[in-house]
Amino acid sequence: MTLEDIINIAGKPGLFQIISRTKNGLIAESLENKKRIPVFASDSVSAFTDISIYTKEDSVSLKELFQNISKKESGAATSVDPNTDGEALKTYFKEVLPEYDEDQVYSSHIKKVLKWYNVLQSVKLLDELLKEEEEEESKDEKELKKANQAKFDQKQKQTQTRNVKASSRAKGGAQTSMPRKAV
């Protein structure tokens, strides 16, 4: 399972895992009570990979935020109860993500994120998801290096081909264009 399989459905409490896709939508299973529900195209669904938190300069993905919380809490559930007052939530969030934009991130958002973290932690998925994401990043980096090496090799071959053609022409060898015939 990856973070792409975890979704939030507007109007429904908790987190859901995508079980299968249908022609009219999805079948999702609650992570907490394992109850399956249909999710239609008209429902507002957000995949975890699409959700991010505003910072003063850019935004931070949930994965990075969950990694920060996990480091602070040493892999345990949050030390702050998500249902506490807004000021306590903001203070905690400031410790986890100091550069978050206080004007655009409300205490209700912080409450939701902390609840999600605790749900993933309680069903023992958080470590697995963060570990898989790191493995995928290293695979992506390897693929990028391979692609860059292939481009470099291709440019090298093109340069060598040009050099061979140029030296062949200089020695009076075969010409690349044919002379015109007079009519």
**Tens-digit pLDDT profile for the chain (183 aa)?**
676 788 888 888 888 988 998 888 889 998 888 899 988 888 888 888 888 888 888 888 888 888 888 888 777 877 788 878 888 888 888 888 888 888 888 888 888 888 888 888 888 777 776 675 555 555 556 566 666 666 666 766 776 666 656 555 656 655 555 556 665
Strand partners, 20: 27
**Is residue 38 domain-resident?**
yes
**CA-CA-CA-CA dihedral for 53, 59, 62, 67, to nearest 10:** -110
Give the residue from 111, 128, 145 where a domain finishes: 128
Q: Distances in Å between the alpha carbon of 53 and those of 104, 109, 145?
A: 9, 9, 30
Q: Per the structure block, which two tokens stand in for 125? A: 């998925």
What residue ranges in 23-154 does DSSP mark as E strands? 25-30, 36-40, 45-47, 52-54, 59-61
CB within 8 Å of 113: residues ≥ 6 apart: 53, 62, 65
The DSSP code sequence of 7-51 is EEETTS-S-EEEEEE-SSEEEEEETTT--EEEEETTS-EEEGGG-
Residues 31 and 95 in one domain: no
Domain boundary among 128, 148, 173: 128
The total of structural domains in the chain comes to 2
For strand 36-40 and strand 25-30, is the pairing parallel, antiparallel, or unpaired? antiparallel
Q: Find the domain containing 26 and state its range.
A: 3-47
Cα Rg of the chain (Å, integer): 27
CATH of the domain at 63: 1.10.10.1650
CATH number at residue 7: 2.30.30.730
